[in-house]
Amino acid sequence: MHIKRLHTCCTLLKERPTNLKGKKHSSQLWLTRQLKDPYVEKAKKENYRCRSAFKLLEINERHNILSPGMIVIDCGAAPGSWTQVAVKLTNSNGSQENKPIGSVFSIDRQLFHQVEGAHILGNSDFTSLETHRKLRDLLNGKLVDLVMSDMAPNASGVRDIDHEVIITLAYSALKFALQFSKPGSTFLTKIWDGGKSSQLEEDLCKFYNKVKVVRPDATRDDSHEMYFLAREFKGLKAG
């Protein structure tokens, strides 16, 4: 199945719209929701590219998955808000004196603006062998502490179909994580809740010692979005 992946971060509004007349109803709802969303304004003030940064910040505050010196891969990274958070918390830009310097690698099919302190692999599919080769060259034999994914496909509006597609995408991210992660590492992926969530959780438990569902407060109330946080990767047996 070919899945068009789309980072679901909403572009931050630079100016408040003064006239919604003539716009489609769906556009009016989106603009109104953006204006009422405190995380949108907060993201602008703190120079994050979109509000999703606060989801990762909250997950880290609760579960401490990012720290200086870590090697992190951000799958489906555009426009880069999770990468911004990872750079700050791993100290990959060297801004924290006397603390280990980490590395952040950000992959997306789209080209997107550089984030200081991150290695950007734009115009790249994280499932392709060519991207794997480039990444292994950059890692220079090292394995990864955290693979994270805030990716989601374009929504059709049919909940069961959308759920099935994002689950397929989460499995793709998991397969990627298994190839690049060191024993004891962490995997974080977004899904939309539905009937296949339990099977994914069971499969995660085959490879990780601890798996839990997390739903940050920054997630919108009307969203079915949640995250699986899998910790303590068991490693892959040779053979």
What is the set of active-site residues? 190
Q: How far apart are CA 131 and CA 129, in angstroms?
A: 5
Q: How far apart are CA 103 and CA 101, in angstroms?
A: 7
Amino acid residing at 161: I
Query: Beta strands of 111-198 (E only): which ranges?
Result: 118-121, 144-149, 151-153, 181-192
Query: For 30, which DSSP code?
Result: H
From residue 107, give the alpha-carbon distance in Å to each of 73, 156, 173. 8, 24, 12
Q: How far apart are CA 239 and CA 231, in angstroms?
A: 24
Q: How far apart are CA 146 and CA 49, in angstroms?
A: 21
Q: Which residues pair with 211 in a beta bridge?
A: 230
